[in-house]
Each structure stands twice: as structure tokens, then as C-alpha cells.
């Protein structure tokens, strides 16, 4: 009897120790800390996903492996139970069609459930601090996907959460899950296992586009990549991102036109001009409509080139391009579902 009690006490202590370690590890801001492998196959167990800088080559490839498996499982059509009994909070303080529904769908496809909160339904309307909202939501749920219009705010809020927080877009800052899904989509479209040696052309509003900030940073994990950044000078990729790429193996070309680089491109990544990030309508009007990809331009592209776009599209890809088999942007949305299923199961520590 005594030994059974002692055994139970030890087990309780072990559980408590695990809980404390977990709470501590998610409260540390992991942004500038290299990922450490507690589980060699899953570097994300109970971690926040806040920035592309968290992911080195090995981390990216581990996520891709799980995403590939999720993609395969989805195609079998069988219901999955990986996240049965778990709850995702979708905490979106900025409009979203794809990202919010993609996180919700991913959690439901894994057999879990979803609570959705936005600025109208959360107590932030009553003046609650972000810290208190995160502390509260952590009590109800197992993982939190958060979007906010202020750059850096998701990373700051995450330190108050005792559950993993996934950055679903912080203002003009980062969008790491979109960038990971972009990498997964590139691998699917080009039938490759790495991005080594590829040429990518990013076009449009590279200054405010958080998806391209994160994507460019992930490219640093691959060898021999050429990155063409095509934008008017006022909408070019931020210097901070370029500087970071210069420390990696990525060859960066800064351009205002894509005519000359399209024939060498393996990936052509269009973005919209981000109206909501401009100080005035006049400044936006001066920048919009500068680049429009048309079916005629596609004649100079490689046969296997994939056209991507994080969506929503405004007018930067002519609808005539949609019929071209190289138009990958709607398949990209499907890749996003598999990738988010992978990320949710990884941060929850569910073996796949
Ligand atoms: C992007 C975003 O929200 O940053 N959309 C998305 O998440 N798929 C791109 C955009 O809004 O232009």
C-alpha cells in the first residue's frame, strides 16, 4: 500500500514537473533561440510558432515530412482522430478568409474542435488587456492561432499564453505558417524534396507583404537559391530581411521589372499591394496596378514554372492565367490545409 502511494506521488510529481517545464518553455520567447530537439523528430512540441527565424533547414524539412503525410492522409478521405479532445482557439483581430478557415478546417480534419474569437466577440472591446485575454484563452484551449494588425504583437502576447501560440499574421511583420505552406506547395508543384538551386521571383508589395518576409527568411535554409525581388523602390523588401539573407547562401537581385527574370524562374510569386498598410489612399493609388501577370507574359516562362499567390488576389493576376496548368494558387490553398494540420499536431506533440 505504502509503495503504491509512493509510486502515485512520484507519478504526480513527474506530471507536475512536466507541466512546469512545459509552461516555462512556452513562456520563454523562442524567437531568437535556436530550436532544440527534445524530440528529434519534432522540434515544435509545446512551442510557439512566431517567426520564420525559428526554422533552420532541418526544422523546415521535419515540418515538410509531417505535412506530406497529412496531405496523403487527407487524400484517403478517412476521418482522423489525432486531435480528438483538443481545442484550437482562432483569435483573429484582423480580417481573414483563408487563414482563419484553414486553421479551423485543419483542426477539425484532425478530429479536434475550434473556438473562434475576434475583436467584436472578445473582451478586448471592454478594455481587457491582451495579456489577460491570452491567459484566459489558455485555460480553455490547447493551441491558439492568433492574428493582429500590429507588427510584433503576436510575439508579445505569446509570452502570457501557457499554450502554444501560432502567429497567423502580425501586421506588416511575419506570416510564418503561410511561408511554410508556400515551401510545401513549391515542393509539391515541382516534385522536389528541397528548394536547393531554385530561382524564385517575388513580385508586388514586398515592403508590407508579411508572407514574403517570412518566405524570404525560410529560403536561407536552402543552398544555391536565387531570389529576384521585383517591386518599385518604395515597396521593396525591407533592408532587415535583405541583410539577413546576405548572411545565408541566397543570391538576391533587386529589380523593378520581371520581364528579364521570368524565363529563369521556377517560382513566380505574386502579391497584392497591401492597401490597409498605407498611411493615405493617395499613396496606395500611386502604387496599385503596377504589375499584372497576363497569359501573354506566361509564354516566356518555363514549362514547369509555378505561379503562386498567398491570396486574396485583387488585379495582379489576370483571370485568364487561371486556366494555365502552371497557375498553382488555388492548389496552394489546399497545401495550406495539410501544412496547418502538420503544425497543429506538432505543437500539440501528437505523434503522426
Ligand atoms: C495574406 C495575409 O493575410 O498576409 N493572406 C493570407 O494569409 N493568405 C496576404 C494578403 O493579405 O495579401
Pairing label, strands 199-203, 165-170: unpaired
pLDDT score at 124: 77
Question: What domain range is 145 assigned to?
Answer: 25-174+336-347
Peptide bond into 312 cis (omega under 30): yes
Count CA atoms closer than 13 A to 98's CA, side-chain side: 20
> CATH number of the domain that 78 lies in?
3.40.50.1370
- For residue 98 and ligand 1, the question of a CB distance below 6 A is answered with yes
- Catalytic residue ranges: 98-99, 126, 147, 175
170 with 227, same domain: the answer is no
pLDDT at 5: 33
| 55 & 132 share domain | yes
Q: Judge if 133 and 264 occupy the same domain.
A: no
Question: Is residue 17, in this structure, part of any structural domain at all?
Answer: no
**pLDDT for residue 350:** 93
**Does a structural domain hold residue 14?**
no
Per-residue cell: 72: 496523403
My answer on whether 131 and 272 are in the same domain is no
Look at residues 343, 339, 63 and name the one whose alpha carbon lies nearest to residue 185: 339
- Ligand 1 touching residue 220 (CB < 6 A): no
Q: Is the CB of 211 under 6 A from ligand 1?
A: yes
Q: What pLDDT was estimated at residue 41?
A: 86
Q: Are 60 and 218 in contact (CB under 8 A)?
A: yes
Alpha-carbon span 98 to 147, nearest angstrom? 12
Q: Ligand 1: which of 312, 314, 330, 333 to mutate, judged by most atoms within 8 Å of the beta carbon?
A: 312
Q: Does the Cβ of 133 fall within 6 Å of ligand 1?
A: no
One digit per residue, the tens of pLDDT, for the chain of length 352 reads 333 333 333 433 333 333 333 333 434 554 434 344 468 889 999 999 999 999 999 999 999 999 999 999 999 999 999 999 999 999 999 989 899 999 999 999 999 999 999 877 777 777 899 999 999 999 999 999 999 999 999 999 999 999 999 999 999 999 999 999 999 999 999 999 999 999 999 999 999 999 999 999 999 999 999 999 999 999 999 999 999 998 998 999 999 999 999 999 999 999 999 999 999 999 999 899 999 999 999 999 999 999 999 999 999 999 999 999 999 999 999 999 999 999 999 999 998 8
168 with 286, same domain?
no
Residues 185, 324, single domain; the answer is yes
Cβ atoms 331, 189 nearer than 8 A? yes
Q: What is the pTM of this model?
A: 0.89
Task: Say what the pLDDT of residue 127 is.
Answer: 87
Picking from 322, 216, 207, the residue whose alpha carbon sits closest to that of residue 273 is 207
Query: Are residues 187 and 153 both part of a single domain?
Result: no
**By C-alpha distance, which of 271, 266, 267 is closest to 292?**
271
Cβ of 177 less than 6 Å from ligand 1: no
Any domain includes 145: yes
Q: What is the pLDDT of residue 176?
A: 98
Question: Which residue lies with its CA nearest to atom 8 of ligand 1?
Answer: 310
Q: Same structural domain for residues 75 and 30? A: yes
* Contact call for residues 74 and 338 (beta carbons, < 8 A): yes
**What is the phi/psi pair of residue 92, to 5°?**
-115, 115
Q: How many domains, in total, are found in the chain?
A: 2
pLDDT at position 38: 63
Please tell me the distance between residue 13's alpha carbon and the centre of ligand 1 in angstroms: 45
168: CA distance to ligand 1 center in Å? 9
112 and 237, same domain (yes or no): no
Asked whether residue 13 is domain-assigned, the answer is no
Nearest CA to 268 among 296, 210, 313, 308? Answer: 308
The answer to whether residues 248 and 286 belong to one domain is yes
Give, in order, the Cα–Cα distances in Å from 260 to each of 110, 207, 305, 316, 321: 44, 22, 15, 18, 19
In a domain, 191, yes or no: yes
Residues 6+ apart with CB under 8 A from 102: 333, 336, 337, 340
Cell representation of residue 249: 547562401
Amino acid at each position: 500500500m505504502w509503495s503504491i502511494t509512493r509510486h502515485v506521488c512520484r507519478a504526480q510529481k513527474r506530471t507536475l514537473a512536466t507541466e512546469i517545464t512545459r509552461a516555462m518553455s512556452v513562456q520563454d520567447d523562442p524567437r531568437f533561440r535556436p530550436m532544440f530537439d527534445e524530440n528529434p523528430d519534432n522540434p515544435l512540441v509545446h512551442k510557439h510558432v512566431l517567426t520564420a527565424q525559428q526554422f533552420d533547414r532541418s526544422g523546415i524539412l521535419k515540418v515538410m515530412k509531417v505535412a506530406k503525410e497529412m496531405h496523403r492522409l487527407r487524400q484517403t478521405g478517412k476521418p482522423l482522430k489525432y486531435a480528438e479532445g483538443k481545442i484550437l482557439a482562432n483569435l483573429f483581430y484582423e480580417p481573414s478568409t483563408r487563414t482563419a478557415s484553414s486553421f479551423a478546417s485543419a483542426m477539425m480534419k484532425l478530429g479536434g474542435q475550434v473556438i473562434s474569437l475576434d475583436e467584436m466577440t472578445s473582451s478586448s472591446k471592454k478594455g481587457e488587456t491582451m495579456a489577460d485575454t491570452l491567459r484566459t484563452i489558455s485555460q480553455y484551449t490547447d493551441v491558439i492561432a492568433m492574428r493582429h494588425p500590429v507588427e510584433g504583437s503576436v510575439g508579445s502576447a505569446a509570452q502570457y499564453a501557457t499554450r502554444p501560440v501560432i502567429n497567423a499574421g502580425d501586421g506588416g511583420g511575419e506570416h510564418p505558417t503561410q511561408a511554410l505552406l508556400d515551401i510545401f506547395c513549391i515542393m509539391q508543384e515541382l516534385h522536389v524534396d528541397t528548394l536547393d538551386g531554385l530561382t524564385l521571383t517575388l513580385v508586388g508589395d514586398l515592403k508590407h507583404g508579411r508572407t514574403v518576409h517570412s518566405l524570404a527568411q525560410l529560403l536561407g535554409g536552402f543552398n544555391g537559391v536565387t531570389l529576384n525581388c521585383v517591386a518599385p523602390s518604395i515597396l521593396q523588401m525591407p533592408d532587415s530581411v535583405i541583410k539577413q539573407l546576405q548572411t545565408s547562401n541566397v543570391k538576391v537581385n533587386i529589380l523593378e521589372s520581371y520581364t528579364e527574370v521570368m524565363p529563369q524562374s521556377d517560382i513566380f510569386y505574386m502579391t497584392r499591394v497591401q492597401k490597409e498598410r498605407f498611411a493615405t489612399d493617395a499613396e496606395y493609388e500611386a502604387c496599385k496596378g503596377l504589375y499584372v501577370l497576363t497569359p501573354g507574359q506566361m509564354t516566356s516562362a518555363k514549362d514547369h514554372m509555378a505561379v503562386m499567390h498567398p491570396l486574396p488576389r485583387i488585379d495582379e493576376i489576370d483571370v485568364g492565367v487561371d486556366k494555365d496548368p502552371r497557375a498553382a494558387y488555388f492548389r496552394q490553398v489546399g497545401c495550406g490545409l495539410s501544412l496547418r494540420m502538420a503544425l497543429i499536431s506538432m505543437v500539440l506533440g501528437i505523434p503522426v
